[in-house]
Structure 1
Amino acid sequence: MTTTTPVAAPAPTTRSTRRWLALSILALAQFLVVLDASIVNIALPVLGQQLGIDTATLAWVITAYVLAFGGLLLLGGRLADRYGHRRIFLIGTAGFVAASALAGLSVTSEMLLASRALQGASAALLAPAALALLTHLFPETKDRTKALGVWGGVAGIGSAAGVLLGGVLTAALGWQSVFFINVPIGAIVLVAIPLLITRDKSGVHGKLDIPGAATITGALVAAVGALSAIEQVGFAHPLTIGLAAVSIALGVLFVFIERRTAEPLVPLDVFKNRNLTVGNIVMLLIGAAMVALFFALSVYMQAVLGYDALTTGLTQLPLAGALVVVAGLAPSIIHRFGTKPTLIGSLIVLAAGLVWLSFAPSDAQFLTQILGPSLLIGVGMGGAFVTTTQLSVDGVEGGEAGLAGGLINTSQQIGGALGLAILGTIAALRTESLIEAGVGAPEAITRGFSWLFLGTATVAVLGAITAGLVRKN
């Protein structure tokens, strides 16, 4: 697909003699990336008070991480292909650990924001390289599907654990602990991976596509920035419109560059792989549903039902547990029923759970009105996440495994920002209109989130329709 000869293309079976142990360490690193997207949220009020950060600046504690992570993922994946998956993974992990320590030691808002941006940039190196290493460790479809089941389980645990651990750590040890927790875990990863996975082969050939890297990074950063701006200033604000225009212009320029360069950052021929393309579209939709859902659940349970942060985290454990169990069973389900039926079925189950959740009232009882839909959502999300990740690396050559990892992570990040911006705005507008009409705040918030849950269900149905394009059964 490209004239560039990649560095990291050794025979997959030679990368480790203890590949399942190696997978557990890679999954631990991926856990940190997923965890860090949510664990900071609970600590923000305390953090802002102690560092003297106003509300507007606090939003940038999240945005700085998301912009760097989402914007640099494709570049990170391609760097891993060219300079070695293990090498780039270790560099990313080391950077993530160092940035986490700096964030915990921050005494000013500037220091914290810079640390968060470095965390995001390091995660953009770590995440696609980790998925690429997984594909090398498990070249056979059956074992790879099992490995991706573990991967999907880690995503579920990380998403729920962020809310739970954020509340516990902030209350017991202070806001700094939500960053410091990454340091010992990251140290374990840095020690273990060199012992478990062989070195990358040396020998870089060709030039890195600097114009392509600059334009796609700029386009992605502007896109994520525009989506974040929607939440803060609205669709029609000049900042939102300007960032969207910059993103589109740079995206068009990127395609123009990639069509004409001999050694492109992203060979456009990769999208001729229908399963990879469908997998990324579906992952974008899953990301949109997942991020909007977890945001809405957290606010609904605290602002409407009156749960504290710890209880809110605990109530999301059944969803995460169902996700983990189904992610583990997904390989057997796929083997028995096929990839396409499993993906479509999972997305339909996810949509059904979201529709059910949309009927939850403002005085909902957890056991009778939230637990059931939460379990359905976990079941659907677990099956869909594993199957979609498998599709995204289906038929990808070893020298483009990092690119595939960068693509699927980018799809998830952009989808999450898109879902939160659009569905969150719809929920907010619905809530505001009801309050203006005299409806009480708890009921108005509940009805607003009902629209959000129905919106996420629609997104899941669109994913199921898209999954119909999958070639394999």
Structure 2
Amino acid sequence: MSSQQSGTSADHASRPARLTPVQRLALGVLLTANFTLAVDFSILNVALPHIGAELGFPTESLQWIVTSFALCAAGFTLFFGRVADLFGRKRLFLAGIVLLGLSSLLGGLALDPTVLILARVGQGIATAMVTPAALSLMTTTFPEGPARSRVLGLNGALMAAGFTGGAVLGGVLTGVVSWRWAFFINVVVALAVIVIAPFVLREKRADNRPKLDIPGAFTVTLALGLLVWGITNAGDDGWASVGAWAPIAAAILLFIAFWAIERRVREPLVALSMLRRPNVAWGNIAGLIAFATETSLVFVLTLYLQEILGFNAVSAGLMLGVLGIGTVIGGLIAPRVIGRTNAKFAIVVGLVLQGLATLPLALADQSSGWVIPLLIFTFIGGIANLVAIVGYTVTATTAVPPEQQGLATGLVTMSQQVGITLGTPVMSAVLASQLAVGLLSGIQLAIAVNAAIALVSGVIIAISLRLPKRSPVEAP
């Protein structure tokens, strides 16, 4: 073969194949589902006082509207990630969408607190079913390289935009129509996905279906639930409260028991050899940090804009929408960053730049002149955060066999959801430690700690993460 022919072949090999119309529609269905679930994490936050007044929730119980969702979403995600491998990703995805639609309809029609909490539990379980199934459908449909990086970049951008945009959408819906439409929108999306998805989603069925590790699934699900519950209580009552340290201590004991179970079970829920892969372990640690820091920063800045600068909830949400725009841009440029360097570089640079963009905000005071710098720094931080998120998703699913992609994406989803759930209570506890001095002092300390976590994590990952050896992929 001549050098010219060889070069032409290489050029063709480096170009990702064009997606067929069916593939584009399938990708649209998966992205829409994940975006909707990301919105659900934050869409009711602004509406909590209205829901409490209408349904008779005691003020101290309003947190359970958010916590019940987060507990189930984080607690069951690893279990359903494995179920996707064993019983079919498409089947689990569709079952989760059906549950999402029914739970959302129940929530929109709820007339008392018990029914609403049951609806949020159903939405959380649906999230744990759909998110790893959708992500594993993406990673098995698109091979490692530019195509997968672009798809995961879009997915990461939309999910991050969904979280930050959920607060804005919830405020607008609550103010213009009713908080109930935060549920009814999901019903419309679920119906559309159920109609289209069966005809466009494709998957290769596994040749053998090993037994599901029930003891391991029960133990790790309970451990994750207790961990999230304890951290949530710490944000409300302080780390010294029994409601905080007792569940966390129990969770640690259950994680140890889970580790022991997985070493003895013939077909474990988590192959310990996978956790020994540096890219899987460190990739998920990076993802947990990325989600925990940026989502908790939204919480702290919302307090700053409303309680210190005096903006209303809708105005504050719209200002933080700039961060959401940054995340979308970050998701779009991340595949090019990875293509020209590698996924580790994207994680490290993303976390370090995010920390550097967050740090100046720790100096914010009562002057309205801080609004413009806040918009600029959060925009930069949003871009950097999504570069790190896409980098960790690519890292944690690289060189994983197709039959274990559901497990790998379950771990990715778990780190994401635990990070979202963990970050805000931790920052809330840091903030609360300074309330004797003043709210502004607490906000400044929380922002400084947030920035430090991102910066230190970036340095540690730069030193510790080792990517698996594989053939290099050219930039898209």
* TM-score normalised by structure 2 residue count: 0.91
Q: SS at the partner of 1:40? A: coil
The residue correspondences of 1:275-354 to structure 2 (distance < 5 A) are 275-354=279-358
The separation in 2 between residues aligned to 1:163 and 1:419, in whole angstroms, is 17
Cα–Cα, structure 1 residues 314 and 391, in superposed 2: closer, same or farther, change >3 Å?
same
* 2:466 counterpart letter in structure 1: R
Provide the secondary structure at the position in 1 that maps to 2:363: coil
Classify the secondary structure of the residue corresponding to 1:76: helix
Residue identity in the other structure for 1:54: P
User: Does residue 1:454 correspond to 2:454, yes or no?
Assistant: no
1:100-123, Cα deviation, whole Å (9 max, x unpaired): 110111111111111111110111
Aligned pairs for 1:350-429 (under 5 A) are: 350-365=354-369, 367-429=371-433
Structure 1 residues 461, 390: CA separation in 2 closer, same or farther (over 3 Å shift)?
same
- Say whether residues 1:445 and 2:445 are aligned partners: no
Deviates more, 1:49-58 or 1:185-194: 185-194
**Are 2:467 and 1:467 equivalent residues in the alignment?**
no
Does the 8 Å contact 1:88/1:126 carry over to 2?
yes
**1:433 counterpart (429, 432, 436):** 436
One-letter code of the match for 1:37? F
Q: Judging changes above 3 Å, is the alpha-carbon distance between structure 1 residues 458 and 122 closer, same or farther for their aligned structure 2 residues? A: same
- Partner amino acid, structure 1, of 2:380: L
The one of 191, 195, 198 aligned to 2:199: 195
- Does structure 1 conserve the Cα–Cα contact (< 8 Å) formed by 2:309 and 2:368? yes
Q: Whole-Å Cα distance in 2 between the matches of residues 341 and 136 of structure 1? A: 24
**Aligned-pair distance for 1:16?**
7.7
Q: Secondary structure at the match of 1:78?
A: helix
Letter in 2 for 1:424: S
Query: So what's the TM-score if we normalise by structure 1?
Result: 0.92
Question: What does the per-residue CA deviation read over 1:202-259, in whole Å, with 9 as the maximum and x for residues that have no partner?
Answer: 7653321111111001101111111111012221122222211211111111111110
1:317 CA drift (Å):
1.9
Say whether 1:142 aligns with 2:146: yes
SS at match of 2:399: coil
Q: Deviations over 1:277-335 (max 9, x none)?
A: 11101111112202211111112111121112221121012211122112111111222
> 1:10 matched to which residue of 2?
none
Counterpart of 2:165, as a letter, is A
Question: Residue 108 of structure 2 aligns with which residue?
Answer: 104
Would you say the 8 A contact 1:16–1:22 is kept in 2? no
Q: CA deviation at 1:359?
A: 1.5
State whether residues 357 and 381 of structure 2, in contact with CA within 8 Å, keep that contact through their aligned partners in structure 1: yes
Aligned to 2:65: 61
Quote the Cα distance in structure 2 between the aligned partners of 1:18 and 1:323: 27
Compute the displacement of 1:375 (Å): 1.7
Given that residues 216 and 261 in structure 2 are in contact (C-alpha distance below 8 angstroms), is that contact kept between their aligned partners in structure 1? yes
CA distance in 2 between partners of 1:87 and 1:62 (Å): 28
Following superposition of structure 1 onto structure 2, how do residues 62-211 of structure 1 map, counting pairs within 5 Å? 62-198=66-202, 201=205, 205-211=209-215
Q: 1:100-154 CA deviation, whole Å, 9 max, x = no partner?
A: 1101111111111111111101110001001000001211311000111101210
Q: State how far apart, in whole Å, the 2-side matches of 1:318 and 1:160 are.
A: 9
> Residues of 2 paired with 1:35 and 1:50: CA distance?
22
1:153-179 CA-to-partner distances (Å, cap 9, x unmatched) read 102320221111101101111111111
- What is the distance in 1 between the residues matched to 2:206 and 2:339? 37
Return the alpha-carbon distance in structure 1 between the equivalents of residues 460 and 421 of structure 2. Answer: 20
Q: Are the counterparts in 2 of residues 97 and 182 from structure 1 also a CA contact under 8 Å? A: yes
User: Are the structure 2 counterparts of residues 55 and 200 from structure 1 closer, same or farther at C-alpha, using a change threshold of 3 Å?
Assistant: farther
Structure 1 residues 356 and 268, CA gap change in structure 2 (3 angstroms): same
Contact residue 352 and residue 376 of structure 1 kept, 8 A? no
Q: Is the 8 A contact 1:276 1:391 kept in 2?
A: yes
Shift of 1:199: 5.5
Task: Write the distance in 1 (CA, Å) between the matches of 2:371 and 2:443.
Answer: 19
2:26 equivalent to 1:22: yes
> 239, 264, 267: which is aligned to 2:243?
239
Q: CA deviation at 1:470?
A: 2.7
> CA contact under 8 A between 2:65 and 2:116: conserved in structure 1?
yes
Report the CA distance between 1:471 and its aligned residue.
2.3
Deviation at 1:368, TM superposition (A): 3.0
The corresponding residue for 2:13 is none
Tell me, what secondary structure is at the counterpart of 2:45? helix
> 1:200 Cα deviation (Å)?
5.3
Per mean C-alpha deviation after superposition, the further-off stretch among 297-306 and 251-260 is 297-306
Question: Does the aligned pair in 2 maintain the 1:19–1:137 contact within 8 Å?
Answer: no
- Alignment partner, residue 440 of structure 1: none
The equivalent residue for 1:9 is none
Alignment partner of 1:433: what SS?
A: coil
Residues 178 and 236 (structure 1), Cα distance of their counterparts in 2 relative to 1, 3 Å cut: same
Structure 2 gaps of 5+ residues are 1-16
Q: Is the 8 A contact 2:87 2:209 kept in 1?
A: no
- Please give the alpha-carbon distance, in whole angstroms, between the structure 1 residues aligned to 2:386 and 2:212: 37
Matched residue type, 1:333: V
Whole-Å Cα distance in 2 between the matches of residues 308 and 388 of structure 1?
35
- 1:265 corresponding residue in structure 2: 269
In the alignment, is the contact (CA less than 8 A) between 2:99 and 2:123 conserved in 1?
A: yes
Q: Give the letter aligned to residue 451 of structure 2.
A: A
For 1:437, the equivalent position in structure 2 comes to none
Q: How many aligned residue pairs are there?
A: 450
Q: CA deviation at 1:418?
A: 2.8
How far does residue 448 in structure 1 lie from its aligned partner after superposition? Answer: 1.1
Distance change >3 Å, CA 140–CA 232, structure 1 → 2: closer
